[in-house]
Amino acid sequence: MKATPRQQLMLLDLQRLDHTLARLRKRNEQLPERAELTALETEREQVRNTYMDAQRELDARRLELTRIESDVEVVEQRVARDNEMLAASTSSKEAVALQSELDTLGRRKGELEERQLEAMEVAEAAEGVFSEAERVLAGVDERRAGINERIAAAEAQTESDRGAAETERAGLAAEVRGDLLALYEKTRAQVGIGAARLRAGVSEASGMALSPADLSTIKAAPEDEIVFCPETGAILVRVIDE
């Protein structure tokens, strides 16, 4: 196949854009923020477990305190009832019984109030542990949100760059002769590289210097003749060193 040197040079621009598009496709997957996010998720799982443990402990301490407060309330209600009955009683025997019960209730109330004070102290300590765990978890979530924002911004930039590259490629491809473009696309699909420079006897497709025989054959070919890299099969575009 033959093509003007200008058409062949356009293949190098196509290859540059295709390389850019391939790099952009990988860029989102290889963002350093993704590894950072993965590491943070492991940390968050540990922090969240600590938070959940602290929450369960706080709930248990609050429930215990509520039970004691309920018991105190029951005792206070019975004391109030007995005092009313004692005040209205006209029977000495009943009065003695009521007073005895009031003494017992008084001791019970004292015990409950002591337990209530201890339970309040324990609940307060659990509240402090929970608040700290909540603060740490909120900090991790804030860091995670920041990383996700950076990932979103990077993905948006990649999408913008990809759109620009695709637009440029479409315009360039429209200028390349149809059969030449088809050859380029077929070659790129088969060997991964559509076109590469041949400069100073070195094929940029393989990164190797051509043998004297291969180089002699290519030099003997007309400048509008399509030639290929003997190592990779990519189209070689002959570039004269300045």
Give the pair of three-digit tokens for residue 11. Answer: 């293949």
> Where does the pLDDT of residue 242 fall: very low under 50, low under 70, confident under 90, or very high at 90 and above?
very low
Please say whether the beta carbons of 58 and 127 come within 8 A: yes
The pTM of the full predicted model, rounded to 2 decimals, is 0.67
H or E element in which residue 35 lies:
helix 32-88
Which tens digits make up the pLDDT trace of 178-217?
999 999 999 999 999 999 999 989 999 999 999 999 999 9
Residue 16: CA count within 13 A, CB half-sphere: 8
CA–CA distance, 240 with 24 (Å, rounded to integer): 30
Give the pair of three-digit tokens for residue 182. Answer: 């088809």
**Whether residue 15 has pLDDT greater than 80:** yes
Rg (CA), the chain: 42
**Whether residue 240 has pLDDT greater than 70:** no
Mean pLDDT on 166-173: 96
Amino acid letter, residue 18: D
Pairing status of strand 227-228 against strand 208-209: unpaired
CA–CA distance, 5 with 223 (Å, rounded to integer): 7
Mean pLDDT on 159-175: 96
Domain residue ranges of the chain, discontinuous segments joined by +: 5-22+177-238, 31-175
Mean pLDDT on 86-101: 85
> Where does the pLDDT of residue 241 fall: very low under 50, low under 70, confident under 90, or very high at 90 and above?
low
What percent of the chain lies above the pLDDT cut of 90? 87
CA–CA distance, 241 with 116 (Å, rounded to integer): 92
The helix/strand/coil state of 30 is: coil
CATH code of the region 31-175: 1.10.287.1490
CA–CA distance, 122 with 116 (Å, rounded to integer): 10
Looking at the chain, which runs of residues are DSSP E strands?
195-199, 202-203, 208-209, 227-228, 235-238
Mean pLDDT of the chain: 93
CA–CA distance, 6 with 20 (Å, rounded to integer): 21
Which tens digits make up the pLDDT trace of 120-156?
999 999 999 999 999 999 999 999 999 999 999 999 9
Give the pair of three-digit tokens for residue 143. Answer: 């860091």
- Who's near 118: CB < 8 A, 6+ residues apart? none
